[in-house]
Amino acid sequence: MKKFMATFTILSTLSATILLSGCMLNSRHMQEEVSKRVAFPAFMHPRTIDAEPFNLKAYERVHEEGKTINIYIEGDGFAWVSRKRKSLNPTPKNPISLRLAAMDGSTNVIYLARPCQYTGWQNEGRCPQKYWTSHKYSPTVVNSFHKALDDIKRRYQAPNFNLIGYSGGGTIATLVAADRDDVLSIRTVAGNLDIDYHTNFHKVTKLTGSLNPKDIAAKIAHIPQRHFVGSMDQNVTPEIYYSYAQAMGVDKCLNYNFVDGADHTEGWAEHWTMLVKQPVECEEYVPAPVTMELTPEIEEKIEEFNNVIK
């Protein structure tokens, strides 16, 4: 009887493992199909970019080499199954940033997924979960995007980029821009611009292995930016943007829009063709007019000067 129970336990465990693996493969296949159905009608072609230690999934539409490219960076994806349970595969079920990229009518548009989404880890074994949880904005992750942008720059002779990031992709966009001289502008959509405020607000574990955009806000104050904040977003709340803006100090290049009715996932794609046309620029510096009180002494000097030049 004991032998039978041991055999039954082993078979049950094996069956569960096979079933789980099958579900994961089926889920990844379905997520891949969703991305293709979004990208292909917009003539965006898939490519995998070597961004060691990750392979980053890209969808590209570049009609004019040597010109600026709009780079869209995906959000955190399916990172958590529940508040305390990590996902085994962070590939997004609803790739919002890809949907926005597909609606961008610009000549050159490239979408970049986040590490471990769609593709995986270049080293042996499964992509470490920390790269879509505690370390999702780590120096390793940020550096992988530098490598991806360098690859794109060489491939298409692109002189510069406009960075557009959704949710955690906005976090990445700001962090990447801080160490590059080829970023023309930054746009974020429901962007998490202060990760410490975000974790405190939601009472979850601090992202100890990640970098915080708020800490480098002043460093990128010279880059034109526009941040889109959902009026009904209970995930990335307006206070997060305000915290980032306050840390920046000088705000002549900082622009924002509250999008009425938008929450964290809904209300963006419907309005993106209009939102993406919002200008992203810095205010011109106009010196204040200088006024001078004309005292009798100054009037006398002016009169003497006028007599000399007559």
Mean pLDDT of 120-129: 77
- Is residue 200 pLDDT above 90, yes or no? yes
Residue 113 predicted with pLDDT over 60: yes
pLDDT for res 179: 97
202-241 pLDDT tens trace? 999 999 999 999 999 999 999 999 999 999 999 999 999 9
Q: Is residue 123 part of a domain?
A: yes
Task: Establish if 2 belongs to a structural domain.
Answer: no
Looking at the structure of the chain, the number of domains it has is 1
Residue 153 is part of which domain span? Answer: 22-309
> What is the Cα–Cα distance from 129 to 116, expressed in whole angstroms?
9
pLDDT at 23: 44
- pLDDT for position 20: 41
pLDDT at 5: 46
Mean pLDDT, the chain, whole residue set: 87
> Is residue 63 predicted with pLDDT exceeding 90?
yes
Q: Is residue 4 part of a domain?
A: no
> 245 pLDDT exceeds 80?
yes
pTM of the model: 0.84
User: How confident is the model at residue 32, as a pLDDT?
Assistant: 87
pLDDT band at 83 (very low <50, low <70, confident <90, very high): confident
Distance (Å, whole) CA 263 – CA 267: 7
The set of residues, in sequence order, having a beta carbon less than 8 Å from that of 158 and lying 6+ positions away, is: 65, 66, 67, 68, 69, 108, 152
Q: Which of 87-96, 184-193, 277-286, 297-306 has the highest mean pLDDT?
A: 184-193
174 vs 84, more confident? 174
| Packing angle, helices 168-177 and 139-156, rounded to 10 | 70
Average pLDDT over residues 34-46: 95
57 within 8 A of 48, measured Cβ to Cβ: yes
Mean pLDDT, residues 106-133 taken together: 89
Residue 46 lies in a domain: yes
* pLDDT for position 87: 87
User: For position 4, what pLDDT does the model report?
Assistant: 42
**pLDDT tops 90 at residue 195:** yes
Whether the ω angle into residue 53 lies within 30 degrees of 0, i.e. cis, is: yes
Query: Does residue 8 sit within a domain?
Result: no
Burial class (CB in 10 A: 0-12, 13-18, 19+), 102: buried
pLDDT higher at 253 or 307: 253
With respect to residue 11, please indicate whether it lies within any of the assigned structural domains.
no
Q: Establish if 9 belongs to a structural domain.
A: no
If one compares 274 and 83, the residue with the highest pLDDT of the two is: 274
What is the rounded CA–CA span in Å between residue 221 and residue 223? 6
Q: Is the pLDDT of residue 112 over 90?
A: yes
CATH number at 145 reads: 3.40.50.1820
In-domain check, residue 118: yes
β pairing state of 45-51 and 54-62: antiparallel
**Which secondary structure element, helix H or strand E, spans residue 225, and what is its range?**
strand 225-230
pLDDT at 266 over 70: yes
Q: Rounded to the nearest 5°, which phi and psi values hold at 77?
A: 75, -155
Q: What is the pLDDT of residue 122?
A: 75
Please report the pLDDT score of residue 305 as a whole number. 52
| pLDDT confidence of residue 303 | 65
Residues 6+ apart with CB under 8 A from 268: 96, 99, 100, 166, 189, 190, 228, 230, 259, 262, 275
